[in-house]
């Protein structure tokens, strides 16, 4: 199978990036916790070697692995919070597709959780001002 980068990135005009490094710099502990829980789930339950990248980056293939699978965490407002990246050590197309489905589901889960946190913060802020 030829080495090709598999990703689910929207066209640049369709997505705005969240501030680069915001979660990594500790500016949003809720976001760090959500992403950490999703990564933990993927690692423990799915046996995937997955990482979160806060900015858009080209990741080189790991030694002995196919190019990484990349799926953005797309927030409700169209911003890309970050990227879930996974190296698949299998050359089986079925395994790669399964891993990509797991990443897509996990990115949607993380995005919904992050969106809900923001909604709750907005509601709390409004109730304090009224």
Per the domain annotation, does 1 fall within a domain? no
Per the domain annotation, does 104 fall within a domain? yes
Q: According to the model, what pLDDT value does residue 13 have?
A: 35
Q: According to the model, what pLDDT value does residue 42 have?
A: 85
Beta bridge partners of 52: 84
Total structural domains within the chain: 1
Per the domain annotation, does 44 fall within a domain? yes
Residue 51 three-state SS: strand
Instruction: Give per-residue pLDDT as tens, 27-78.
Output: 466 888 888 888 888 888 877 777 777 665 556 666 666 678 889 999 999 9
Confidence band, pLDDT 50/70/90 cuts, at residue 112: very high
Mean residue pLDDT of the chain comes to: 74
User: Looking at the predicted structure, is the pLDDT value of residue 104 above 70?
Assistant: yes
Are 109 and 39 in contact by the 8 Å Cβ rule? The answer is no
Q: Residue 32 belongs to a domain with what CATH number? A: 3.30.450
Per the domain annotation, does 109 fall within a domain? yes
CA distance 40 to 45: 8
User: Looking at the predicted structure, is the pLDDT value of residue 120 above 50?
Assistant: yes
Per the domain annotation, does 102 fall within a domain? yes
pTM: predicted TM-score of the whole model, two decimal places: 0.69
Distance of CA 48 to the CA centre of its chain: 14
Domain residues for the domain of 75 are 6-129
Question: 14-18, 42-46, 83-87, 103-107 — which one is most confidently predicted on average?
Answer: 103-107
CA dihedral 5, 84, 49, 47 (to 10 degrees): -110
Q: According to the model, what pLDDT value does residue 77 have?
A: 93
Q: According to the model, what pLDDT value does residue 1 have?
A: 36
Per the domain annotation, does 53 fall within a domain? yes
């Amino acid at each position: 199978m030829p080495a090709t980068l598999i990703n689910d990135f929207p066209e640049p005009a369709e997505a705005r990036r969240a501030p680069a490094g915001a979660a990594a710099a500790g500016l949003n502990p809720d976001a760090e916790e959500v992403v950490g829980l999703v990564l933990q789930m993927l690692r423990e339950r799915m046996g995937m070697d997955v990482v979160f990248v806060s900015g858009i980056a080209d990741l080189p293939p790991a030694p002995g692995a196919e190019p990484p699978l990349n799926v953005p965490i797309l927030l409700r407002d169209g911003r890309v919070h970050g990227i879930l990246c996974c190296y698949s050590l299998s050359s089986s197309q079925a395994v790669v597709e399964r891993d990509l489905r797991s990443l897509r589901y996990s990115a949607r889960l993380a995005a919904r959780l992050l969106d809900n946190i923001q909604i709750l913060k907005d509601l709390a802020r409004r109730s304090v001002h009224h």
